[in-house]
A and B are shown apart, each in its own frame.
Chain A
Amino acid sequence: MDLLERFAAGDLDAFESLFRERQAAVYRWIVRIIRDPATAEDLTVETFWRAYKARARFRPDGNFEAWLHRIATNASLDHLRTTRNYIELSEDFPANPCPDSAVQKETSIAVQRALESLPARLRIVAQLGLIQEEPNRSIAEALGISESAAKLRMFRAVRILRKKLTEAGVTL
C-alpha cells in the first residue's frame, strides 16, 4: 500500500510523512497570499488539519498536491474574509532611502490599504496575480473556478484598486 492509500485509510504515520514533505510548499503558497509569516504558519497547520479530517474523501489515485493546494487556498480565503491583516512596514522600507522615501512609504501604505479594502475573493486574485505574478490558469485551479472567471475577477480587482488609489491621491 503506498503512502497516499495509507493516508486515505487513516494511517497517522503516512500522514506525518506527507506533512513533512509538503509543509514548506503549502507555507510558501499561503504566505504569498497572506503576506504574514506567523499567520501563514497557522494556516499551514489548519490546511493539513482540514486535509486530515477529509482524508476519507480523498481518492488515492488523485492529485494530492492539487487537492492540498485547493484546501490551502480556501483556508486563506476564509482567513481573509474574517480578518484584515494589515502588514506593518519595517523600518528599513524602502530599502534605499532617498529624499522621496516618506512619499514612498505613504504610497506603500495606500497600496496596502487599497488591497485590504478589496473583497476577499478579489483580494486573493490580486495578491496572486498582480503581486506574485501567478498566471491566471494556476489561480483558477487553486480557486476551483474557470480561467475566464479568474480573469474577470482580476479586471474587477484592478478597477477597484485604481479607484481607491485615485481617491487616496496616489498615482501609480
Chain B
Amino acid sequence: MNKDPDEALVERCRQGDRAALGTLMRRYQRAIYNAAYRVLGNGEDAADVAQSVFLKVAERLDEFDAERRFFSWIYRIAINEALNVLRRKDHEEPLDAEDELPGAESLDPERIALAAQLAGRVQHALMSLRFDDRIVITLRHFSGCSYGEIATILELQEKTVKSRLFDARTRLRGLLRDLQPA
C-alpha cells in the first residue's frame, strides 16, 4: 500500500487538531466542489454537498479505515452526498446557465458567448447522462482520477470502470457529436 499523502493530517485530525481539519478541507474543497458541480450542475447544490462532506468527514473520521486512501473515502462520501441531493429533489435539475458564467463581466462578450455556449452544451450533455455515467466521467475528466483510483472510490473492478467509461463516453459522444475539432 502506498503511503497516503493525507495520512499525517488525518492522524492529527483524529487527535482533535482543528487546524489540521481546516488544512484538509482546504486541500479538498476545490476538488470536491467541482466534482459535485459537474455531477449536479448547480453551484448551490455543489456548495451544500461540499459542506456536508466536510461535516461528515469531521464526524466520522474515527470510522475511516487508515488502510485506505483518504481521497477515495472523501470522494466516496461526496458521491453519496450528491446522490442524496438528487434523491431529495427527486429530479435532476436543469443546468442553470448563469452558473456557467462566473466573472462574465470581465470578458469579451463574444468570447463569453462562445465559452458559455460550449460549456453549457457540455454541461447539459453531462446532465443528460445517467448518474453513474456522470460519476465516472467526472472522476476521470474533472477530478483527474486514474482507472485504479476510480475503481477504489466506486469499489469496482478496473475493467468495470473501463467498461463504464466506454459506455458513458459513447453516450456523451452521441450528445456532442456536432462539436468541431478546436
Q: Are A and B associated in one complex?
A: no
Q: Interface of B with A (CB < 8 Å)? A: none
Q: Interface of A with B (CB < 8 Å)? A: none
